[in-house]
Amino acid sequence: MIEDAAMLLLLKEDRCLGWHPLYEKYSGMMYGSIMRLTDDKNLADKILTIIFLRIAKNGFALKDKELLYLKLLQFTCSITKEILAKQVMNGTPARPPAKFPLLDSIVFEAISFEDAFTEQLLTAEECRKKLHLEVTQMRLQMKNQPIHNKLN
């Protein structure tokens, strides 16, 4: 599997080679994040497509120490809320209880990594390990969930 740095370089150079690995590696997590905010699978498919189209149109920049999966999840959450706010008169639907509390706080509440480990009373290394564990669990959970590949 292609590394994140190489994938971002390919995307930055506007090569199509980076899109397939990006989609294969992260679309499950992104789709899962969307499904936490809406129960409508058709809408979730459309939102996922919109997100990838926006990344293609506007590019995707990371600061030096940001993690790609974390940035993608924050971007996914932001775009999903934006789309749902336009479609739902009563605001964003309530999320189910957090299965991944650290990841949810960073992605859905948009707190920084530093604030997350301070809030959780953890060291940076402990927080990084816990975040890695939650992301791994989320990947495993989403691995078997069917998604439609609308980009190919």
Average pLDDT of 24-37? 88
**pLDDT category of residue 31 using cuts at 50, 70 and 90:** very high
Mean pLDDT of the chain: 75
pLDDT tens figures, 91-105:
544 455 567 777 777
pTM score of the predicted model: 0.56
Residue range(s) defining the domain that contains residue 72: 4-143
Is there a domain that residue 137 lies in? yes
Does 71 have pLDDT greater than 50? yes
Query: What does the chain look like in DSSP terms, one character per residue?
Result: ---HHHHHHHHHTT-GGGHHHHHHHHHHHHHHHHHHH---HHHHHHHHHHHHHHHHHH-----TT--HHHHHHHHHHHHHHHHHHHH-TT-SPPPPPPSSHHHHHHHTS---HHHHHHHTT--HHHHHHHHHHHHHHHHHHHHTS-------
Which residue has tokens 């190919």? 152
151 in a structural domain: no
Given this model, what pLDDT does residue 149 score?
46
Assess if residue 103 is contained within a domain: yes
